[in-house]
Structures are given as C-alpha cells and as structure tokens.
Structure 1
Amino acid sequence: MSDITIWHNPACGTSRNVLGLIRNSGAEPRVVEYLKTPPSRADILDAVGRMGIPLRALLREKGTPFAELGLGDPALTDDQLLDAIAAHPILINRPVVFTPLGVRLCRPSETVLDILPEPQRGAFAKEDGAPVVDAAGRRSSG
C-alpha cells in the first residue's frame, strides 16, 4: 500500500500532471477519484487542518456551482460550506496530495515536488510541454 494519496480528477490537466510527477518519483499512489468517491466531512476537515488553510481556500469556483450557491458570502460557516461540498464534490479544488512529508493542494502541479519523499527519476514535462523536471531529476527553471 502506498503512503501517498491523491484526490484526483482525471478530467483535470493539473491533476493528471501531479499524478505523473508522483509516478515519476517511483511511487504508485492511492488514487481517490473524489467525484466518484467523495471524502467525508471529517476527511475534508482533516485535510485542510493538515494543510493549515481555511476550508474556504479549498473551494473551487471555476466550473462549479460556487456562484449559484452563493458560496462567496463570507458569512457562511464551515458547516454550511461542508454541506455544499457534500452535495457538490466538484467544489473541492484539486488535486490534494497526502504524503509522509505533508498535505498540499498542488496548484501549480510543481507544488507536489515539495512533499514527495523520493526524488524524480528523470525528465518530466506537463501535458502542454512545459518542462518541470530535467533528465537529472532536478526542477527545470522554465
């Protein structure tokens, strides 16, 4: 069993890039397609607590019912936000990665490099061709 977990959306390019970077380190993560298997309220609260961010920072606006649900209202409580996430898991921004070195919302995708226990094993480029890691496994400068 892997000690790395990713809350993944296979339709999201950033999520696919992060999964590729995890695999490029030699790890095969536990992949949770959170739209098919949404995390529990407790799991969501644990994740934001471990990331040290407010629950609101986990919300995704683009391509979600964020605006229609009025989730921009600062008066909403965490319980109300959790209710909205439970009803619409697409509101979870992605990908969220859990490793022994920490938990991060990996946007941009390179953020995952900060919490991977093993180094990159070779070159890696994002789907758009942008280099992330060079042939020696070092971060590319761009």
Structure 2
Amino acid sequence: MSARIYHNPACGTSRNTLAMLEQAGASPEVIEYLKTPPTRDELVDLIARMGITPRDLLRQKGTPYDELGLGEDRWSDDELVDFMMAHPILINRPIVVTDLGVALCRPSEKVLDLLPEGAIGEYVKEDGEVVKGGAA
C-alpha cells in the first residue's frame, strides 16, 4: 500500500498516525512539512482532495494564528493558503494520502478510513488509549 504523511515528529497525534500506518504494513513516505513544506499547488490539491476549506486546515494552537488575525472572516481562501505557505506551522497535521483517499488525521484514528478494513487489529496510542481497526 502506498502512503504519504505530512508529519511533525514533535506531535503525538502525528506520531500515532505514522505508527498506525506502519502497523498496517505501509512504508509511508514521511514528509516533515515544517522542514519541507508542500508547494502552494500541492497544498491546494490536498485541501481539495480532503473536501475541506483552507480555514478547516488552519492550526491555531502553538502558531501565529491570533497574532496574524486569522480568526477574522476577512481573509479569502487564497489569502489563508498564502499564510500557510509563509508559516507552515499553520498547516494542521498530520495529513495522510493513501490509495483510499486523503485526510487530516485528527484524531489519529481517522487514518483507519484510509486503510484497508482490518489492516490494524489493535493499536495502543502513546497515551494508552486502545484503537481497534476492525475485523477483516
């Protein structure tokens, strides 16, 4: 199974998602998006494929979201993408791409929608929560 994850190794949700991909047998292409951000075209494509808006992808916690006034409704989608390009930390994570689709995997269990049914029997997250992947 091919997979790609836009990953931040400092993020527990991102680490759990990557571990679930690996447990499912994937050898995902790992893109540390803070070091290697997607191009503008790639980001716009990911947003479209997820079926969300740029605002839906904005991360608030630990970012310059408030300082930039991004909570205001005056910003267009193009402008919000411009902010994410200028400040990749504003891109929420992890974003996962597999043959079954593209999703922002928050919470990390959302990755199950992008894996074959039963690909993960059970996974124990870093905080001890058990995730069941369903039966094949």
Instruction: Establish whether TM, by shorter chain, passes 0.5.
Output: yes
- Alignment deviations for residues 27-46 of structure 1 (CA, whole Å, 9 cap, x no partner): 11000000000001111110
- 1:103-140: CA deviation from partner (whole Å, max 9, x where unpaired): 0000111000011136335431000011013xxx538x
For residues 13 and 72 of structure 1, what CA distance do their matches in structure 2 show? 25
User: Quick one: which amino acid aligns to residue 103 of structure 1?
Assistant: V
Cα offsets for 1:76-102 (capped at 9, x unmatched): 012211221111100000000001111
What does residue 110 of structure 2 align with? 111
**What runs of 5+ residues in structure 2 fail to find an aligned partner?**
none
Alignment check: 8 A CA contact 1:59 1:91 kept: yes
Q: Does 1:39 align with 2:50?
A: no
Equivalent position amino acid for 2:134 in 1 = R
Amino acid at match of 2:26: A
Separation in 1, partners of 2:117, 2:18: 14
Root-mean-square deviation (CA, aligned residues, Å) is 1.5
| Secondary structure at 2:30 match in 1 | strand
Identity among equivalent pairs (%) = 59
Q: Which residue of 2 aligns with 1:126?
A: 125
Task: Report if aligned partners of 2:117, 2:134 keep a CA contact under 8 Å in 1.
Answer: no
Q: What residue is the counterpart of 1:80 in the other structure?
A: 79
* Contiguous gaps of at least 5 residues in structure 1: none
Paired residues for 1:59-74 under 5 Å:
59-74=58-73
Question: 8 Å contact 1:5–1:99 — kept in the other structure?
Answer: yes
Q: Is the 8 A contact 1:4 1:98 kept in 2?
A: yes
> What is the identity, as a one-letter code, of the residue corresponding to 2:45?
D
**4+ residue segments displaced more than 2 Å:** 117-123
TM-score normalised by the chain length of structure 1: 0.89
